Amino acid sequence: MIDRKLIKSIWGSRHKGWSFLPSSGRSVGILIVWDERVVSVVEVVCGSFSLSVKMKDFNTNEWWLSGIYGPNKPRIRRDFWEELFSLFGLCCSLRVLGGDFYVVRSFVEKLNGVRSIRSMRDFDHFIRECALRDLPLVNARFTWSNQQMNLVCNRIDRFLFSLEWEELFPHVRQLTLPRVTSNHCPILLDSELISWGPSPFRFENM
């Protein structure tokens, strides 16, 4: 159950809004939380595999953020791609998608395990057809591991965004955070300039 108490345990700030897509069967749900001091939400669209919110910042820029959870059953993957393509008919050119797509884009994003060439081809086609930016991870190669003796690793979690959105946030980079309980690494999409720490203090004794 998603309620204010649970959201407070995730984010202690009083200035928060949220929207969620409930879990269905063995599929997990999607939760998006935002800081109401920074953005306001204009519209929310729920799909079977995605939750999208249209945000407006205080510079009056409007853009869409979509949380994604891809299906693990090949027979419904066509429905998944159709839903993602339909989002681009609905959304403006400023858009970001992030989450578990449950598919890799190429062989180099997978270590051991079964390789589905058709799924990779469909994913690559989606990214190219929608003209999305797919940045490499700064500090890792994979985002998921089975954590077994017969090790399987892959990169099924990522952010994708439009060129127009990147023009608003030109210093964006994508990196993993430490894994705590899940077999997935959290992914951070950082749009801030790199901080090199405090500036050194110097003086000249005259």
For residue 205, tell me if it sits in a domain.
no
pLDDT digit string (tens) for the chain, length 206 residues? 677 888 888 887 788 899 999 887 666 789 999 999 989 999 999 999 999 999 998 877 889 999 999 998 888 999 999 999 998 877 778 899 999 999 999 999 999 877 778 899 999 999 999 999 999 999 999 999 988 889 999 999 999 999 999 998 899 999 999 988 889 999 999 987 655 445 444 444 44
Residue 200 inside a domain? The answer is no
Residues with Cβ within 8 Å of 129's Cβ and at least 6 positions away in sequence, in order, are: 85
Q: Where are the alpha helices (DSSP H) in the chain?
A: 4-10, 77-90, 117-129, 163-168
Where residue 35 sits, what CATH number does that domain have? Answer: 3.60.10.10
Provide the whole-model pTM.
0.86
Structural domain contains residue 155: yes
User: What is the rounded CA–CA span in Å between residue 178 and residue 184?
Assistant: 10
Angstrom distances, CA of residue 95 to CA of 161, 166, 195: 6, 9, 26
DSSP labels for 142-191? -SEE--SSS--EE--EEEEEEHHHHHHSTT-EEEE---SSSSBPPEEEE-
The answer to whether position 146 is within a domain reads yes
Answer whether residue 143 is part of any domain. yes
127 lies in a domain? yes
What pLDDT does residue 87 have? 87
Range of the domain at 123: 4-190
Question: What's residue 193's pLDDT?
Answer: 61
**Most distant CA atoms of the chain, gap in Å:** 77
* Any domain includes 204: no
> Do the domain assignments include residue 151?
yes
Count of domains observed in the chain: 1
